[in-house]
Amino acid sequence: MNLNQIDWAKSELLPVIVQDSSTMEVLMMAYMNRESLELSLSTKIAHYYSRSKQRLWKKGESSGHLQHIERFLLDCDNDTLLILVRQEGVACHTGRKSCFFTDIESEESVSEPQIDTTATYGIIDELYHTILARKNSDPSSSWTAKLLSSGDNAILKKVVEEAGEFSFAIKDGNEDEIIYECADLVYHVLVALGHKNISPDRIKQELARRSGVSGIAEKNSRNK
């Protein structure tokens, strides 16, 4: 593929529709920048650019559910890509084969998860995606939806409240209370991150960046 065919002037990110090469079922939609497209072309394994994680990611890097690309097709406007793939496992982080499973009129799922992905992605990522899904839920039936709909002040009030309870649990030295209050604090921090659409992966990236850097040097770098 001649990458100059693509109309990069419209956006640095190219929308990509992903289709199963054998069933022609639409599996997902993602984005590629030039670098991830070059990697996908050279390896024939799907690489994307995650807007939430703000980095390149190889599909299946955590789950092993790789997408082997069999064909690249560019649309008539040169600004959208269709790729036909051989999917290992499932395409969706929920464990479903396709990311398109919610009927918008009935709000019901048209397919059930095929794979339990909790162990694959970890409880933090699973909880974060559940929080994002609650953004459009009825606040009267979901505490998370109610909290998200309440805005910054209500969300941050709960973060401060839970941080205080966690601090007192540490002071009291009760391990069960420490674990319980820490779980409450982590949940409310994830709600705050979800409210601002900041993936926990970006926190992991920041921690990785600091790895091997002394705390004093890191703080000094922020004060310059």
CB count within 10 Å of CB 110 equals 11
**Confidence at residue 213, expressed as pLDDT on a 0 to 100 scale:** 65
**Confidence at residue 219, expressed as pLDDT on a 0 to 100 scale:** 55
**Confidence at residue 194, expressed as pLDDT on a 0 to 100 scale:** 95
How does pLDDT run across 146-180, given as a tens digit for each residue?
999 999 999 999 999 999 999 999 999 999 999 99
Longest dimension (CA), the chain: 66
**Confidence at residue 136, expressed as pLDDT on a 0 to 100 scale:** 81
- Architecture (CATH level 2) of domain 3-117: Roll (3.10)
Please state the domain extents for the chain: 3-117, 122-222
Distance of alpha carbon 129 from alpha carbon 93, whole angstroms? 9
**Confidence at residue 179, expressed as pLDDT on a 0 to 100 scale:** 97
Distance of alpha carbon 134 from alpha carbon 143, whole angstroms? 9
Q: How far apart are the first and last CA of the chain?
A: 45
CATH classification (class only), 122-222? mainly alpha
Answer whether 0.75 is exceeded by the pTM.
no
**Confidence at residue 152, expressed as pLDDT on a 0 to 100 scale:** 95
Q: Enumerate residue ranges in the chain where pLDDT < 50.
A: none
* H or E element, residue 28: strand 26-32
**Confidence at residue 217, expressed as pLDDT on a 0 to 100 scale:** 55
**Confidence at residue 9, expressed as pLDDT on a 0 to 100 scale:** 86
Tell me the three state secondary structure of residue 97.
coil
